[in-house]
Amino acid sequence: MSKVLDLTKELISRKSVTPDDAGCQTIVAERLKNIGFSIEYLRFGDVDNLWATFGDSGPIFTFLGHTDVVPPGPIEDWESDPFIATDKDSFLVGRGSADMKGSVAAFVTSIEDFLEEKPTLSGRIGVLLTSDEEGPAVDGVSKVVEYLEKKDEKITWCLVGEPTSDNRVGDVIKIGRRGSISAKIKVIGTQGHIAYPDKANNPIHSFSSPLAELSKLSWKDETDRFQDSVLQISNLNSGTGASNVIPGSLVLDLNVRHSPSTSVEQIKLDVESILNKYNLEYEIHWVVGGKPFLTTEKELIAAVTNSIKDVVGTEPVCTTDGGTSDGRFIAPTGAQVVELGPGNASIHKVNESVRKTDLEELNKIYKTILSSLLSNI
Ligand SMILES: [Zn+2]
């Protein structure tokens, strides 16, 4: 059994359902301490975060990851205990195996392998872990970034270990992510008897034209790296349940996943101008879930791409799709951010699994990235 698989198994055995870290970060910290890292445990609210660094000066390369996992759901739906890593053919099965304890283990073992060769370093290594990536992400990486800013610490290159791969490790990397903005809208009407519509104001009727316009809203991506941004409605509720009552209100939820070409101000303006055009009485509550980012500098992308080529022989496709990640908190500080992890076919599902060779190759790829960015020889 390889070091990376051993450590992945050890981490899977900790029931670290968000926001509980269940001791995962201590396991990682002890390993890093043994090879000379300085360790800072940063607990905010009920969230554990770890900031570990090696080296004295120069640009800092940071591995970013999370130790928390999503709940397993009904245990009886699993073929084996989700918190006991189980070998099944060429896969390791367990909650968090792919998202993302396998990558966290590969962070540690790749650093160990790299430093064992006693390289002359031209920079520093950082490891940043949180136990609140799968949850609200309020007391996780965003708080650590505030803490680092106060210390005048600036991450230069950030490698996020989220599972980005498709058919084999390194076939897909992410060099950006879309932003996410949501709104809850309450359209206010006047409740009344269905037989006396002149004495009521039906919000379903008054909202029908604005609904049609909202559902056609889209914003062009100008970076050529993202899909165009479109508005999607996830919930639409009105009515009392009775067939003879005109409802007094209508509530809907909408979301836009947007490229860096489209600002949240533009989205707000376009949505609200439709609502205002129809003279609706409404309340609206906006929530910005994450800002978009796109890494355009070539340095980190080249190091990651070349390392993948060295280890597996193929070049990755650079994408920006999928949900948000904690990279959204690091990128605004000026860091170059790239995401590379194992296959993602089973993440958040029952019988989550990771291909064992994915982790072994990931270990080698991460080590090659460290060496190409930090090694002075
Ligand atoms: Zn994840």
User: Domains of the chain: which residue ranges?
Assistant: 3-177+292-374, 179-290
Q: pTM score, two decimals? A: 0.89
User: Of the listed 20, 21, 48, 68, which one is catalytic?
Assistant: 68
Percent share of the chain, pLDDT over 70: 99
CA 99 / ligand 1 centre spacing (Å): 5
CA 326 / ligand 1 centre spacing (Å): 9
Identify the DSSP state of 199. G
Query: Any idea which architecture 3-177+292-374 has in CATH?
Result: 3-Layer(aba) Sandwich (3.40)
Rounded distance, CA 306 to CA 313, Å? 9
Tens digit of each residue's pLDDT (9 = 90 or more) over 277-286: 999 999 999 9
User: Of the listed 133, 139, 162, 360, which one is catalytic?
Assistant: 133
What sign does the dihedral 253-346-18-329 (CA atoms) show?
Answer: negative
pLDDT over 80 (residue 377): no
More confident residue, 290 or 146: 146
Average pLDDT, whole number, for the chain? Answer: 96
Percent share of the chain, pLDDT over 90: 95
- Tell me if residue 68 is catalytic: yes
Q: What is the mean pLDDT of residues 30-36?
A: 98
Tens digit of each residue's pLDDT (9 = 90 or more) over 93-140: 999 999 999 999 999 999 999 999 999 999 999 999 999 998 888 899
Rounded distance, CA 338 to CA 318, Å? 9
Listed range (122-126, 260-264, 290-294, 371-375) with the worst mean pLDDT: 290-294
Q: What is the pLDDT of residue 45?
A: 96
Q: What is the mean pLDDT of residues 275-304?
A: 95
Residue 194 CB: number of other CB atoms within 10 A? 12
Query: Does residue 100 have a cis bond before it (omega within 30 degrees)?
Result: yes
Which residue, among 281, 88, 55, has the nearest Cα to 186 in the 3D structure?
A: 281
Rounded distance, CA 266 to CA 12, Å? 43
CA 236 / ligand 1 centre spacing (Å): 29
Q: What is the pLDDT of residue 365?
A: 98
CA 100 / ligand 1 centre spacing (Å): 5
Q: What is the pLDDT of residue 14?
A: 98
Q: Which residues pair with 64 in a beta bridge?
A: 128, 160
- Tell me if residue 139 is catalytic: no
User: Whats the size of the chain, residue-wise?
Assistant: 377
- pLDDT bin (cut points 50, 70, 90) of residue 289 is confident
Angle made by CA atoms 160, 17, 97, in degrees to the nearest 5? 50
The rounded Cα 56 to chain-centroid distance in angstroms is 30
Instruction: Fold for 179-290, please state it.
Output: Alpha-Beta Plaits (3.30.70)
**Exposed, middle or buried: residue 286 (CB in 10 Å: 0-12, 13-18, 19+)?**
middle
Q: What is the pLDDT of residue 66?
A: 98
Q: What is the pLDDT of residue 137?
A: 85
CA 188 / ligand 1 centre spacing (Å): 39
Tens digit of each residue's pLDDT (9 = 90 or more) over 312-345: 999 999 999 888 889 999 999 999 999 999 999 9
- Count Cα neighbours of 146 within 13 Å in the Cβ-side half-sphere: 8
